[in-house]
Structure formats: structure tokens, C-alpha cells
Amino acid sequence: MNKKKILITGGAGFIGSHLVKYFVNKYPDYKIINLDNLTYAGNLDNLKDIISKPNYEFIKGDITLSAFINTLFERYKFDGVIHLAAESHVDRSISNPDEFIETNIIGTLNLLNASRECWNDDFSDKLFYQISTDEVYGSLGIDGLFTEETAYDPRSPYSASKASADHLVRAYWHTYKLPIVISNCSNNYGPNQFPEKLIPLAINNIKNNKNIPIYGKGENIRDWLYVKDHVSAIDLVFHKGKKGETYNIGGNNELTNIELIYKLCKVMDNRLGRADGESAKLITFVKDRAGHDLRYAIDSSKIKRELGWSPSLQFEKGIELTVDWYLQNEKWIKNIINRKYEKYYDKQYNIR
Ligand code: NAD
Ligand code: TYD
């Protein structure tokens, strides 16, 4: 008998697949059900290490379909939900916002309704855990940090849809006492990230001697966290977080985009046996992202103080691990770089 049945949504994506692998291996007495619709960002290759584990099951399905979600909850009677499924790329939200509203808001609503119905007011040992982003807080100037008390001020269709979902999650806590917890994390990087996000896109381009597109002047600042550190924080929040609470998770690794790319180029020169400075010649400044948020930075003192979490890796180490993974997993990336990806790339960048 499994002690707990946990639904992880979006478990074939970047962070979700790391989380699923970690939970399946660390908690053999939990049953982990991974629900993912396998959009362009979902990839079962990410999960090949655990596919035949007895405490793991994959279900292909869409969180926007409420009848399907209700049936799934009736059948499995989950004890916990860790909700990651989302449309997650800001640039795609700018060119096509509607999908973000459907998946990120309606999808979350469907999961909340199904949890409430399934748990039927018996909430002991139940938990709905919403995985959110620091982008809901808006954009910082040069000073200051986002705390859990910072007012929401989302500025892209992506962050607006995530903020809306977070509001719904909190509303279900206040209105129905549905046991919830939310964490808001900064930018993740690491193995298995789809190469539309800055770091894997740049690694792939550098390797293939293609231009590295930097929006505007590369002055925007992000706080980078290695994905496995995010997963260890999720584990803690899921098991020890206080119901109804929010936890900010950050890397303490603030970098401007251009600083980050120079560090990455240095590692790439070293790994590819190129002369110092060779890869950086590929840097190309392109048209800025519309409404580009200047700076995100997280104060993660609450999760440190209350749950004892802090990031284990600094960026310099994490980026080496990431580069090495991409260089050793050429097949993974080759399977992604198809005509659909090329079409997206050409439309987005208009450079080669
Ligand atoms: P991702 O785009 O790599 O993965 C998203 C997954 O959700 C994919 O596997 C996709 O197939 C699945 N999915 C999308 N629509 C679905 C639907 N309708 N039904 C079922 N599955 C669907 O995203 P990620 O970077 O791994 O992010 C995961 C979560 O973490 C998201 O909720 C995101 O908002 C949040 N987050 C991400 C970051 C980051 O830096 N990547 C930072 C903070 C928070
Ligand atoms: P991204 O990885 O898309 O994450 P987010 O927008 O969620 O922070 O982008 C990280 C930063 O890198 C962001 O400031 C936008 C910038 N960026 C570029 O300069 N060029 C690119 O090609 C991409 C994808 C992002």
C-alpha cells in the first residue's frame, strides 16, 4: 500500500521532471502520478531513468479539461497535488496570450475544484501546492528585494496568468479552507531546460557557432537558481510548509544578462577548446522584449529561517554542470531542434 498518492502536474517539463525523479527515488512508499499534456515543452526523454519504477505512473492529459480532471481525481483520490503544469515562456505569452489564460488560470481552477470535491471537506493530511514565480511581483529598480509581502504587480501575460492562479489558490484557502501552500521562485537553470529560455538557447547557439541574441542592452537582472536546489526547496515546503503560507525561493545569484552570457561563454570556450573570448564574439544585441521587466530579486530569508533551506550551488558551479550536461546530451537537444522549433526561432529572432 502506498502511503500517499501525489499528483504532480507538468512533470514532463523542465522543473517538473527533476521533481518527479527526485520524489520517485526519495519516497518509494509514495505513488507519484505525473499528469502532463506533452505540449512542445513536455518531453518524456526527461524521465527515462524512472519510467519503470513501481511507484511511478504517467498520464497524458490536459488540465484545462474539467470533466477529465474530475474523473481522474475520483479514480485516484490523490492525497496531495504539486501543480507545475503551465505555459511558462514570457516571449510566447507576448505573441500568444490566450493559451496562458486557459492553461495557467482555467487549468489551476479545474485542479482546485477537483481537489475540493475529492477531499470533501476532510482536509487532514491533504495539500494543494501551487508552484509559482517571482515574476508575479512585477519589476524591481536597482534596489530592493521581493518578499512574501510584496504586492502583486504582474506585467506580462505570463506573470498575469500566474498571479491570477495564485489569487485563486489563496481564495480557496480563505473561502473553503482548502489546505494550500504557494512558493514563488526565481529563474531556474540546469539540465533538461527547453532551449527557448536564455541559458539553453545560448549554449546551443554557441556550440553551433550561431549568434547569441541578447535583448536590448543585456542590462536586465535575474536571480538564478540551479533547478535541483528548487526541487529540494519544494520537497521541504511540501512536507514542512505551513498551510496557507507563501515561501519565496531564490538563488542569491543576481546577474545582468550580459554578465551571465560572458560567464557562460568562458565555460563554453574552455569546454570546446576555443581561445578565450571566441564564443563571446557571437553576442548579438537584438530588439528588446516588449515590457521587459528590469530586475527580479528574491528575499528568501523566510524559507531559510522557518524551514532551514538555502541554495547549495553558486552560479559558477551550476553553470559548469549545466554546460557539461548539454554537451554530453546532444541527442536530447537534437530531438528538440525540429522544424517547429526552427519556425519559432526564425519568427522570434529574425537572425541566424
Ligand atoms: P516547462 O514549460 O518546462 O514545463 C511545463 C510542463 O507543463 C510541460 O511538460 C507541458 O507539457 C505541461 N503542460 C502545459 N500545458 C499543459 C496542460 N494544459 N495540461 C497538462 N500539462 C501541461 O516549465 P518549467 O520551466 O518546468 O516550469 C514549471 C512551473 O514552474 C511553471 O508553473 C512555472 O510557472 C514555474 N516556475 C518556473 C520557473 C523557471 O525559471 N522555469 C521559475 C519559477 C516558477
Ligand atoms: P528567460 O530565460 O526567457 O526567462 P524570464 O523571462 O522568465 O526571466 O529570459 C531571461 C532573461 O534573458 C530575460 O531578461 C530575457 C533575456 N533573454 C535574452 O536577452 N535573449 C533571449 O534570447 C532570451 C530567450 C531571453
pLDDT computed for residue 350 by the predictor: 76
Any atom of ligand 2 within 6 Å of the Cβ of 92: no
pLDDT band with cut points at 50, 70 and 90 for residue 45: very high
- Give pLDDT, residue 1: 66
Q: Does residue 141 surpass a pLDDT of 90?
A: yes
Whether ligand 2 lies within 6 angstroms of the CB of 197 is answered as: yes
pLDDT digits (tens, 9 = 90+) for 242-294: 999 999 999 999 999 999 999 999 999 999 999 999 999 999 999 999 999 99
Task: Give the pLDDT band of residue 71 (cuts 50, 70, 90).
Answer: very high
Residue 301 CA to ligand 2 center (angstroms) comes to: 26
Cα 213 to ligand 2 centre (Å): 10
Q: Is the pLDDT of residue 3 over 90?
A: no
pLDDT of residue 150: 98
Q: Give the chain's mean pLDDT.
A: 97
> pLDDT of 198-218, one tens digit each?
999 999 999 999 999 999 999
* pLDDT of 339 higher than 90: no
> Residues 6 or more apart from 54 whose CB is under 8 A from it?
none
* Gap between the Cα atoms of 158 and 181, Å rounded: 21
Average pLDDT of 169-198? 98
Ligand 1 centroid – CA 280 distance (Å) = 30
The domain segmentation of the chain, as residue ranges, is 4-189+225-249
- 158 belongs to the catalytic site: yes
Task: Kindly identify the ligand whose nearest atom is closest to the C-alpha of 92.
Answer: 2
What share of the chain has pLDDT > 90, as a percent?
A: 97
Q: Which ligand is nearest to the CA of 218?
A: 2
- Whose Cα sits closest to atom 43 in ligand 1? 133
Ligand nearest to the CA of 219: 2
60 closest CA partner among 77, 74, 43, 80 = 43
Which CATH number is 4-189+225-249 given? 3.40.50.720
Kindly state the helix (H) or strand (E) to which residue 148 belongs, with its residue range.
none
Give the pTM.
Answer: 0.98
Distance 259 CA to ligand 1 centre (A): 26
| Alpha carbon distances (Å) from 147 to 185, 235, 248 | 11, 21, 7
* Rounded distance between C-alpha atoms, residue 181 and residue 156, angstroms: 24
- State the number of CA atoms in the 13 A half-sphere of 4 facing the CB: 19
Q: How many Å apart are CA 259 and CA 92, to the nearest integer?
A: 25
Q: Whose CA is nearest to atom 33 of ligand 1?
A: 88
What value does the mean pLDDT take over residues 102-128? 96
